[in-house]
Amino acid sequence: MNVFVEKFADIKILRYSVPEFEKLELNKKIYIYYLSQAALCGRDILWDQNNRYNLAVRAVLENIFKTYSGNRESEMFSSFLVYLKRVWFSNGIHHHYSTEKIPTGFSEDYFDELVDKSDWKSFKIPSEKNFTAFIAEIKVVILNPETEQKRVNLEANKDLILSSANNYYQNVSQIEAEEYYSNLKSTAGTEPVSFGLNSTLVKESTQITEKVWKLNGKYSKAIEKVIFWLDKAVEYAENEPQKKYIRLLVEYYKTGDLAKFDEYSIEWVKEQHGDVDFVNGFIEVYGDPLGIKGSWESIVNYKDKEATKRAVILSENAQWFEDHSPVSPEFKKAEVKGVSAKVINVAILGGDCYPATPIGINLPNAEWIREKHGSKSVTIENITQAYFLDSLGNGMLEEFAGSAEEIERAKQFGYLAGNLHTDLHECLGHGSGKVREGVSTEALKNYYSTIEETRADLFALYYIMDEKMMELGLVPSIEAAKAEFDAYLRNGLLTQLTRIEPGKDIEESHMRNRQLIARWAYEAGKAENVVEFFKKDCKTFVRINDYLKLRNLFGHLLKEIQRIKSEGDFEAARNLVESYAVKVDRPLHDEILLRFKKLDLAPYAGFLNPVYELKTWPCGTPNDVLIRYDEDYTSQMLRYSNEYGFLPIEN
């Protein structure tokens, strides 16, 4: 299967295959089908979470696309189409990575023409508004660069809520939100609750309240559909523990009770025997600058049994890795509990995992659950394979690698080393260490996500070159570890800059994490020339002169990052992130962008989902699930809006 689908703006669309889906047992196929339907039903929730205007903007843009009677071959209509595709990709009007507002590429006059020459007879606007006022409002939202500027603002010395355009807070300042949740925590019991994870914090008059995302609460119509398909999935679950945690998840959706979510998370971690698994709910907090609110996401997957062997080896040796970690003994777990790992093939992506998706996951996020009950870690094999297949022969490696040896190492070991890094990052990195009693992850505020990703990456980098990895048969030689070091510094110092617009700084947490590690290691090793920049043919490259010393530097930084997390040291987190992770070397950036432009590549990629079709007997009983890969990007986006668009355009 050809993984490449299309390219527009800074984005390419790929396909992933679902290996041997047809050979799965019928019950597993039906189970995956029902879970995949639940995964798609929450799409509108994420759109509304990202910005309060997103659903209205999407409805307007899609109606124009479907009914515009003007010249559809013009340059301006092509610009409109690119904008629509970018909005689809980002689940809203802000770039999925930088979170900055997406420029339209067309003028206000052209927007007026698009509206005038489109059919609005079947378009439903909010009941309290007239069409003219509604369209005027949407016009300002998408075309005025001063409104809804940035979905997530992490800039220091600003009110992080009031300067962010996400829809997690309404009429509430950062100080008010922090005080509200601090008061809730002061009355909590012995086991902490993830207060605010599933609600919008709203101030009406002088009263601050939470609008909880639950059945008969906010987002009820979409949650009702999620519950409907989860109820169907229960009948085909592989074992009783799966049925138990699905029913707990449904109960959580019905009540909004965060203690019920914790109960579900514990049972989910404990279930280890099934092949099929899924994530569904309000999970990651990257979209909230305070790191409190969970964006809605879902992934449905099944185990890749052969590839899982390497992950099992890591999880079985988790205590060894914890004991030999370079962090201070007081921040190590005396007993590593419940660390499980597997390699999966994803069957469907939903919410905040679609179209752009992670390549690995470690959950649950609640620190107390991880310490008492453990966590599940996965590497997504069919996604990393699709990325690898797409990268073959695109010229990126040859352009930015500094030597023929580096290129050869990457070709021979890069795919394996990258997957091992993800295994270590997700399975052991996120699951390692402990925090002091009374310390909350929220103590690091807007720096938490960057610090946590830095911690997990450093754990992976430190251990991928350890002799233990070779002893366990996971790393074939030190050359594989060198390939990962090469790739990480090449990305952190050079190639990830292709994702940053000229004159901009780094905003996204994972990108900040990578530059923090690479730039810190470069600076810390300067005296011994551990890592250096060098020029060849007027181009800048990175060279590692001493891999073992670099590994030791990673260990030193890991020790400090773990201390920062464990103690909740906000000032130290801020100093590290602001000193190494944010600012961009402008001349170097300009050079990298120029070199990258000549390759005609897209710096970001996302995926189309396969299409599943449930076949039934005349009595309605399922008898098969068919899979196909022929849907194009525009068709999939329009179909999802039509079939899974359950929320009104204002919530």
How do residues 369-414 score in pLDDT, each as one tens digit? 988 899 998 999 999 999 999 998 899 999 999 999 999 999 999 9
User: Does some domain include residue 538?
Assistant: yes
Residue 189 above 90 pLDDT?
Answer: no
Residue 562 above 80 pLDDT?
Answer: yes
- In angstroms, the CA 636 to CA 43 distance is 13
Across the range 142-147, mean pLDDT stands at: 96
Across the range 241-267, mean pLDDT stands at: 97
Residue 127 above 90 pLDDT?
Answer: no
Do 323 and 379 fall into the same domain?
Answer: yes
Across the range 447-461, mean pLDDT stands at: 97
Contact 77, 71 (CB under 8 A): yes
Of the candidates 165, 139, 161, the residue with the CA atom closest to the CA atom of residue 52: 165
Contact 295, 284 (CB under 8 A): yes
pLDDT at 61: 98
Count the helices and strands in the chain (H runs, E runs): 24, 15
Residue 482 pLDDT grade (very low, low, confident, very high; cuts 50, 70, 90): very high
Q: Token pair for residue 29?
A: 């196929």
**Per-residue pLDDT tens digits for 20-63:** 999 999 999 999 999 999 999 999 999 999 999 999 999 999 99
The strand pairing partners of 626, in sequence order, are 613
Residue 191 above 80 pLDDT?
Answer: no
The least confident of 44-53, 221-230, 498-507 is 498-507
Do 508 and 549 fall into the same domain?
Answer: yes
Residue 583 pLDDT grade (very low, low, confident, very high; cuts 50, 70, 90): very high
- In angstroms, the CA 188 to CA 185 distance is 5
pLDDT at 338: 76
Across the range 229-258, mean pLDDT stands at: 98
User: Does some domain include residue 324?
Assistant: yes
- In angstroms, the CA 90 to CA 50 distance is 9
The proportion of the chain whose per-residue pLDDT surpasses 90, expressed as a percent, equals: 92
Do 494 and 636 fall into the same domain?
Answer: no
Q: What is the mean pLDDT of the chain?
A: 96
User: Does some domain include residue 81?
Assistant: yes
Do 576 and 628 fall into the same domain?
Answer: no
Sheet arrangement for strand 375-380 = 276-282, 296-303, 339-351, 375-380, 360-363
Question: Which residue bears the tokens 């990456």?
Answer: 457
The least confident of 109-118, 203-212, 365-374 is 365-374
Q: Token pair for residue 114?
A: 């698009």
**Per-residue pLDDT tens digits for 287-339:** 999 999 999 999 999 999 999 999 999 999 999 999 999 999 999 999 998 77
Of the candidates 215, 185, 218, the residue with the CA atom closest to the CA atom of residue 201: 218
Residue 188 pLDDT grade (very low, low, confident, very high; cuts 50, 70, 90): confident
- In angstroms, the CA 276 to CA 132 distance is 49
Of the candidates 599, 596, 614, 630, the residue with the CA atom closest to the CA atom of residue 502: 596
Do 495 and 635 fall into the same domain?
Answer: no
Of the candidates 298, 269, 267, the residue with the CA atom closest to the CA atom of residue 281: 298
What's the distance, Cα to Cα, between the start and end of the chain in Å? 41
Residue 545 above 90 pLDDT?
Answer: yes
Residue 147 pLDDT grade (very low, low, confident, very high; cuts 50, 70, 90): very high
Question: Which residue bears the tokens 């093939």?
Answer: 345
**Per-residue pLDDT tens digits for 350-364:** 999 999 999 999 999
Across the range 178-189, mean pLDDT stands at: 87
Task: Tell me phi and psi for residue 365, to 5 degrees.
Answer: -85, -20
User: What domain range is 451 assigned to?
Assistant: 304-605
DSSP, collapsed to helix, strand or coil, labels residue 219 as: coil
Do 620 and 484 fall into the same domain?
Answer: no
Q: Which residues contact 202 (CB under 8 A, 6 or more apart)?
A: 169, 170, 171, 172, 208, 209, 210, 211
- In angstroms, the CA 518 to CA 557 distance is 11
pLDDT at 493: 98
Do 589 and 474 fall into the same domain?
Answer: yes
pLDDT at 531: 98
Q: Token pair for residue 620?
A: 């309605």
Do 601 and 624 fall into the same domain?
Answer: no
Of the candidates 419, 346, 431, 360, the residue with the CA atom closest to the CA atom of residue 388: 419
Residue 346 above 90 pLDDT?
Answer: yes
Within 10 angstroms of residue 463's Cβ, the number of other Cβ atoms is: 26
- The enclosing H or E element of 383 equals helix 381-391
Do 312 and 424 fall into the same domain?
Answer: yes
User: Does some domain include residue 237?
Assistant: no
User: Does some domain include residue 196?
Assistant: no
Q: Which residues contact 208 (CB under 8 A, 6 or more apart)?
A: 172, 176, 180, 201, 202
pLDDT at 193: 87
Do 493 and 584 fall into the same domain?
Answer: yes
Across the range 260-277, mean pLDDT stands at: 96
Residue 442 above 90 pLDDT?
Answer: no
User: Does some domain include residue 517?
Assistant: yes
pLDDT at 589: 98
User: Does some domain include residue 36?
Assistant: no
Residue 438 above 90 pLDDT?
Answer: no
- Total domains present in the chain: 2
Do 562 and 639 fall into the same domain?
Answer: no
Do 569 and 481 fall into the same domain?
Answer: yes
User: Does some domain include residue 485?
Assistant: yes
Across the range 571-599, mean pLDDT stands at: 97
Contact 599, 495 (CB under 8 A): no
